[in-house]
Amino acid sequence: MKSFSESYKEAGVDVTAGYKAVELMKAHVARTMTGGVLSGIGGFGGLFELDMTGINKPVLVSGTDGVGTKIKIAFTMDRHNTVGIDCVAMCVNDIICCGAKPQFFLDYIACGKNIPEKIADIVSGVAEGCVQAGCALVGGETAEHPGLMPDEEYDLAGFAVGIVDKDKILDPSCQKAGDVMIAIKSSGVHSNGFSLVRKVFNISEQNLARHQSDLGTTLGECLLTPTKIYVKAVMSLLDAVKVKSLSHITGGGFYENIPRSLPDGLSAKIARADVQTLPIFDLIAKIGNIPERDMFNTFNMGVGMCAVVDKNDADKAVAAIKAAGEEAYVLGELVESDEGVIIV
């Protein structure tokens, strides 16, 4: 007997729409399958067999995150196939900071009304993010919440699990004054600071569609640009040199995230002129009259990830990142100080 409930549908939850959404997303999920996947979607749990090749003391590393109010941009533009990339990026970019390689991912979508085509569109982005990260989408949940949020709105969050050999977990305590900080460039605002972005630009369909000469595209296209996924670049870097620490530059910008990977007594000294700031940040600061200190304490400013290596490994580190398809450069150095971040 087919599963359906007219009474539940009248209350705002259409279970048949959920079944259709699952059917529509199956092709997207199939793109993410890796050798470790032991189950299909629809079960009570996602099964995954770890590949233990070269790993003597396996340690699982987990991370969860969402996309934040960047989703409001997707609502306004009625484009939903990129925020899933952001969701995966926010999770996997965190766990690689421990030296872990992502293995699998789960997503959670809460929506006012389950529109199967829209849900499948969202999941297509999640799948693309998983492909870029080299991890499998082994499950998820789509929850219809009538009365809790408007029919046309949704929220998106995810959960990633990776693995690292215990002896290869990054140890920030080995850092010393004179070590070099490498910047890996971002693609734009990524997924943090959008509450301030929306305030500065007074977001509407009209101004998102307006071409910005400073950006070379429309404001909407620029803001919706997906967060970079740094898995391949970081794995390449870890294979090339001894990496002492990694920092994912998210909400809180330089001042909050860089010190998270530094031991007491050391700070990152960065010359402002060396920061290769993207045009979108100049535009935000100009239109919003945002002080530079606030910009660096809110946004990534063009730097999505920072790596600390010995100064003798700097050139080799930059080359390894570039070989994996990302842009990188020397950002600064570590100095003896308790300030955390020093921008001069």
Q: Do 342 and 258 contact (CB within 8 A), yes or no?
A: no
Do 288 and 161 lie in a common domain?
no
Tell how far CA 103 is from the center of its chain. Answer: 15
pLDDT confidence bin for 10, thresholds 50/70/90: confident
Q: What would the mean pLDDT of 236-264 be, rounded to a whole number? A: 97
Task: Based on the fold, state whether residues 51 and 91 are members of the same structural domain.
Answer: yes
Exposed/middle/buried for residue 86 (C-beta within 10 Å: 0-12, 13-18, 19+): buried
Question: In degrees rounded to 5, what are phi and psi of residue 150?
Answer: -60, 150
Q: For residue 149, which phi and psi values (nearest 5 degrees)?
A: -145, 160
- Measured in whole angstroms, the distance separating CA 330 from the mean position of its chain's CA atoms is 22
Rounded to whole angstroms, how far apart are CA atoms 181 and 225?
26
The closest of 124, 85, 113, 159 to 11, measured between CA atoms, is 113
pLDDT at 27: 94
Say whether both 139 and 217 belong to one domain: no
Please report the DSSP string for 173-211 in residue order: GG--TT-EEEEEE-SSSTTS-HHHHHHHHT--HHHHSSE
Query: Mind listing the pLDDT tens digit for each residue in 304-329?
Result: 999 999 999 999 999 999 999 999 99
- For 99: left if phi > 0, alpha if psi spans -120 to 50, otherwise beta; the answer is left
Give the pLDDT score at 18.
Answer: 82
Q: Identify whether residues 141 and 202 lie together within a single domain.
A: no
The whole-angstrom separation of Cα 244 and Cα 284 is 33
pLDDT digits (tens, 9 = 90+) for 145-164: 999 999 999 999 999 999 99
Q: At which of 136, 168, 200 does a domain end?
A: 168
Task: Look at residue 1 and tell me if it is in a domain.
Answer: no
- Number of helices (H) and strands (E), helices first, in the chain? 13, 12
DSSP string computed for 38-51: ---TTSSS--B---
Give the range of the structural domain holding residue 37, as residue numbers without chain letter.
Answer: 6-168
Residue 23, pLDDT > 70, answer: yes
CA distance 76 to 74: 6
CATH number for 134: 3.30.1330.10
Confidence of residue 11 (pLDDT cuts 50, 70, 90): confident
159 with 181, same domain? no
The residue type at 318: V
Q: Can you tell me the mean pLDDT for 181-202?
A: 96
pLDDT of the residue at 12? 78
CATH of the domain at 251: 3.90.650.10
- List, in order, residues 6 or more apart from 40 with CB less than 8 Å away: none
Same domain, 76 and 198: no
234 and 296 share one domain: yes
147 and 202 belong to one structural domain: no
By C-alpha distance, which of 145, 144, 105, 156 is closest to 128?
Answer: 105
Whether residue 180 is found in the same domain as residue 267: yes
The residue among 4 and 137 whose pLDDT is bigger is 137
Query: Are 164 and 211 in a shared domain?
Result: no
| 28 and 60 part of one domain | yes
